[in-house]
Structure 1
Amino acid sequence: MTPRNTSTGAVLEAMVLPALERGGYSYRSQVELGVRLGGRRHFVDAVAVLDGVEIIVSLKWQQVGGTAEQKVPFEVMCLADCVRAGRAARAYLVLGGDGWTLRDFFTSGALADHLIHAGLVRVVTLEAFVRLANTSKL
């Protein structure tokens, strides 16, 4: 199957994948992890690997205000489900772009007060993710 075409692809190629490489991670991009909650196929932007530890990377881009913010809690739930199922050791949801009105809420960890497995997914800004990946600290 041909990988899906997403508008975040250019951002992923330009910033996230080189940061993973610099940090010594190998990676696979546009990875199908099985079925997400609700029964549809679940693709993630990348699965990074360092020392045999697999880490899911999902990227959400919000250039202007819109509906991407409403998708964040569901994505956290689906990523946490993957970690719980043993498909990876941990997961990151990376928020890029400057159109997020709830960025501080999402990156604060406050979703854990509302979603029982939210602690399995780290929600970070694109800049924070690049810093962590560059220094092999995912």
Structure 2
Amino acid sequence: MSPGGRGTRTGRVHENVIEKVLSENYPGRFSKQVFIGTNLFGNKYKADFVLNNNVIISAKWQQKTGTTEQKIVYEIMTLIKILKENNLKEAYIVIGGKGYSRKAKEFYLKQKHIEYIKDGELVEILSLDEFIERANVNKL
């Protein structure tokens, strides 16, 4: 599938769900599609959402098997860089879709990246269900 095709549209649905959850639980306290810092290569980074001006929320949808599960590591490292450079609190990556392999999904949701990436504890990976549960009780 070419970039910008169906994969982008299905990812947008994932983002729309996250936006709805934030709207219900944190009205007026978040922004979407915010340029905030630079990625590992020095290019501008656009956060899917920024909550309370200090929490980044990145939405990662994987409809079919592919490379997104490997790209999560790069996303974690970029988020750590941005958090540290901008004195921000924390970041969440909200994963969804059935395209993640069982082992990759288990690795990420058990926060195993913390064992291998310096300052990895600054970034927490949540399933969409976990994200909704936390947002519903204002625990983000």
Mapped to 1, the partners of 2:132 and 2:79 lie a distance apart of 19
* Cα root mean square deviation, aligned: 1.9
Q: 1:44 to 1:87 in 2, by over 3 A?
A: farther
Structure 2: which 5+ runs fail to align? 1-7
Which has the larger helix fraction?
2
Mapped to 2, the partners of 1:62 and 1:10 lie a distance apart of 12
1:127 partner amino acid: D
Tell me which stretches of 4 or more aligned residues in structure 1 moved more than 3 Å.
none
Give SS of 1:128's match: helix
2:85 paired residue number: 85
Count of residues paired in the alignment: 131
In the alignment, is the contact (CA less than 8 A) between 1:33 and 1:87 conserved in 2?
Answer: no
Structure 1 residues 5-45: Cα deviation after superposition (integer angstroms, max 9, x where no partner): x43222211x1112112222521111111211112211111
In the alignment, is the contact (CA less than 8 A) between 2:95 and 2:127 conserved in 1?
Answer: yes
1:133 paired residue number: 135
1:122 paired residue number: 124
1:28 paired residue number: 31
User: How does the TM-score come out when normalised to structure 2?
Assistant: 0.85
2:97 paired residue number: 97
Among all aligned residue pairs of Structure 1 and Structure 2, give the percentage whose two residues are the same amino acid: 29
